A and B are shown apart, each in its own frame.
Chain A
């Protein structure tokens, strides 16, 4: 099973409110990623976990949090959503090492009003 699952598929949030997105995979992959994708733009890496180690991109460091309670699950947390957070959020996983293929989930479309 090469499925990466994401919940919810659609999320409506109010400005200033927190948002928590969930991703799961059962492939025992070492690495899990979160990307933000806006229309007509490339998917932008926000952060990734290699095993239990979190790596956050410098320009999004303060905007997004994440946790990985076990190998299968990874969350993306926005403490206070702003209008600019409206986007598709894609989760992906890979085995790591030389196994570079990333498997993507279906995404969560977040709309902040």
Chain B
């Protein structure tokens, strides 16, 4: 299987709180897990990624965790701001050049 499941589909948080998005994948050979942010009218942009030789990566208020045993990875946004409101997509590279995307999470950060 090559599906990537992403939850939740909609996430509402208060400004300053943290937000977490979870994804699971099926192909145990997956080795690369990017996260994309898409703002209205814009193209998806890579915000952070993690490879299978790591369990945790952090950059600029973003943390990604990877649990290869559970085939699960997650994005955590600390201290959310209204500018973080967007659509977020997780993805998993399943082999070769193919990247399979999750269905997306709409994050809404209210002031």
What residues of chain A have their CB less than 8 Å away from a CB belonging to chain B?
Answer: 4, 31, 33, 35, 40-45, 48, 50, 55, 90, 94, 96, 100-107
Contacts and interface: CB of A to CB of B under 8 A. Distances in A.
A43 B101 contact: yes
Q: Which of B36, B42, B99 has the most CB of A within 10 A?
A: B99
- Range of interface residues on B (Cβ < 8 Å): 20 to 34
- Choose among A48, A94, A102 the residue with the greatest number of B CB atoms under 10 Å from its CB: A102
Counting from the closest, the 7 A-B pairs by CB-CB distance are: A104-B43, A42-B101, A42-B103, A43-B101, A106-B43, A104-B44, A100-B32
B97 A31 contact: yes
A106 B42 contact: yes
Among A42, A101, A107, chain B packs the most CB atoms within 10 A around the CB of A42
A101 B49 contact: yes
Contacts of B45: 104
A45 B4 CA distance: 13
A52 B80 CA distance: 43
Contacts of A42: 4, 6, 89, 100-104
B60 to A, nearest CB: 16
B69 interface: no
A43 B9 CA distance: 14
Contacts of A100: 32, 34, 49, 93, 99
15 contacts: A42-B100, A42-B102, A42-B103, A43-B44, A43-B101, A48-B97, A48-B98, A50-B97, A94-B97, A100-B49, A101-B46, A102-B34, A102-B46, A102-B99, A104-B36
